[in-house]
Amino acid sequence: MHMLSPLQTFTIEGLYSLFRGDREVNWKDEDSIQDQFLSSVDGQAMSKQTRRDFLFLATGVASAVGVSGLVWPFIDQLRPDDDERAVESTITVDISSIEKGMTFTVKWRGKPVMIRNQTTEEIEESRATPLKALKDHYARNANLPADTPATSLARSAGKGRENWIILINICTHLGCIPHVCAGSYNGWFCSCHGSSYDTVGRIRSGPASRNMAIPPYQFISEKVISIR
């Protein structure tokens, strides 16, 4: 079989012949070619460590740094624009028309926030749930300290406003939009992979691991809330 030197493989003929499956590359030849090349360039036989080695290395490192610097703009351009960040970060919602048992969805920072006026039975149901039965023990309520337990009160709008449930209606599994008044716990059901949340949005079964998040909000008056 015809022998190829590795240098020859970089010619069209060489590539072609490799593609066809001629595997006999003569690595010995490579060494001798290089030896000849080096000794012809440099009269004295090459001593192993030379200035040339250093220059090669330095050039290599400098180019590597340069190239990786160039990569960054290619990645960073993929990220969101700054003006998207500014979009309607605070909204106020009039909740006076939301009757018991009704829900209302508003868009806040590109996310659906669901405002629900619970019925008395629903409040009872979530109160009756022992905390031990929960998968996620934290309230996940942005208005309370992070380690607040997930009681039904801590999930609602607070004392005297237990009927109001305000949460970001995004499944904590992979981000679908769960359906309200559905699932095995009469709260929310996510049809993507079957996570069930109870009436105050606590995860009860399925692949999600956290309670649905509660956004930071305030009652400006009895009838109006602001989400910021």
Partner 1 sequence: MIKEKGTYRPKTRCSRFLNHRLPFPRLIHDSIIKYYVPKNLNYFYTFGCILILMLTSQILTGIVMAMHYVPDVGSAFESREHFMRSGRYGWLFGPWHAVGSSFFFIAVYIHLARSLYYGSHKSPREIVWILGVFIYLTMMATAFIGHVLAWSMISAAEVSIAAGLFRAMPLVGSWLYETLLGGYSIGQPTLNRFYVVHSLLPFVLVFLIVLHIWAVHMVGQNNPTGLDVQSERETIPFVPYAAIKYVFTISIFLIFFAWFLFYMPDYMSHADHHIQADIFRTPQHVVPEWYFLPFYTMLRAITFDVGPLESTLFGVMVLTGSLLILLFVPWLDRSQVRSARFRPLYRICYWLFIVDVIFLGWLGSQSVNDVDVIWSQIGTAFYFIFFLIIMPYLPRFEKNWLPASIEEVIHQKK
Contacting residues toward partner 1, per CB under 8 A? 2, 4, 12-14, 16-17, 19-21, 23, 75, 78-80, 84-85, 105, 107, 109-112, 135, 172-179, 190-194, 205-210
| Catalytic site includes residue 193 | yes
Q: Hey, what amino acid is at 198?
A: D
Among 19-27, 67-75, 172-180, 220-228, the segment contacting ligand FES (CB under 6 A): 172-180
- Going from the C-alpha of 103 to that of each of 38, 91, 115, 131, 212, the distances in angstroms are 81, 17, 6, 25, 16
Amino acid residing at 65: V
Q: How far is CA 228 from CA 69, 84, 109, 117, 217, in A?
A: 37, 16, 9, 20, 6
Among 38, 62, 174, 181, binds ligand FES (CB under 6 A): 174
Tokens of 37: 């090349």
Q: Near ligand FES by CB under 6 A, which window of 76-84, 148-156, 170-178, 209-217?
A: 170-178
Beta strands in the chain (DSSP E): 91-94, 103-108, 111-117, 164-168, 179-180, 188-190, 195-197, 203-205, 217-219, 224-227
Which residue lies nearer to ligand FES by CB, 126 or 195?
A: 195
Q: To the nearest whole angstrom, how small is the minimum distance from the Cβ of residue 31 to partner 1?
A: 21
Contact status: 179 vs ligand FES (CB under 6 A): no
The site partner of 19 among ligand FES, partner 1, none (C-beta below 5 to 8 Å per kind) is partner 1
CB of 84 to ligand FES, least distance (A): 24
- Pick the binder of ligand FES from 141, 195, 196, 199 (CB under 6 A): 195
